[in-house]
Structure 1
Amino acid sequence: MVKAIVGRGIAFGTIAEIVTHGFGIQEEQSTIEEKVQTILAANAGLVGLLPAARIRVSGSWQNLTVPYIVHGPQGVQELRTNEGLPRQNMWDPYKIDIVSSSYSSGRNVSEAVITALSGVHNSVHGFWQTLRHFREDETNVEHFIVEFLLAE
């Protein structure tokens, strides 16, 4: 939890930074991972297939209960527009790993992720690119990889 003094009040946020935009106006900025986490965890179709607690940002997670999702950016390109206009970040690819105990379960979760993240969501624009699948015989799980181009 981040706490910052903003004007005459106090702003709180999670893993966020407080950015000043002149004239004393301040707003809280979220990372792309936080934005995607919010979109995925709020999607009723996806949360109906697995609890929101099983949707995680990239990290060194161990012993997660299947099915689960781990997501995070793999690359970013900053696009600058005309002078005075805000910059735009293109996250390409933004990788979402889905691990499940069966092909059908993993495929259903993958399709729900594609539905949840495709299109425009406030400041995040999602463009689905690829869906790949492979079986991990050593751990007896199905692994799906969904890649998006995200713009913010």
Structure 2
Amino acid sequence: MGFLPSASLIQKSFRAPPVEEDDEDKDPLRGKYKRPSMQRLTPLGRRKLRNFEKHMRNATQGRKLFMTESGLLGLGPKTLGQGTSKDEVWILMGSRVPFILHHIEGSKYKVVGEAYVHGLMYGEGYERCTDWDEFGRCSVDTVQLV
């Protein structure tokens, strides 16, 4: 079972002051700070870490981190939160992932895109939905940008 920090812990980390580091710890070639724990990695460990970083960059490129009003953490399209009304997390009947819908007016919505929402994946969203509309949609939560 993996570990995902609580919403309050994530919010605290965004408010935390930046960590000061000496320039002598800076790698002049990459412009990044070296950490002592990184220096202890084996060559195989470094390759695995670089591979992980590459996959994470690819998976999150063009995506935006968000939190729902009920505290669920998600990753959605970069256009999330553009406009005056709040975007909403919806489960669409037959879909494998939650979607972000932007409320236009009345019962009109625009699809912003699919999202990863921790706690709504792998059918968990279907279990939360009790009020399906005539179009096979179920509103789950409202998005708050982190």
Q: Please classify the TM superposition score into its range, dividing by the shorter chain length.
A: under 0.3
Q: Does 1 or 2 have the higher relative contact order (CA < 8 Å, sep 6+)?
A: 2
| Bigger Cα Rg | 2
Select the structure that is richer in strand.
1
Select the structure that is richer in helix.
2
TM normalised by structure 2 equals 0.25
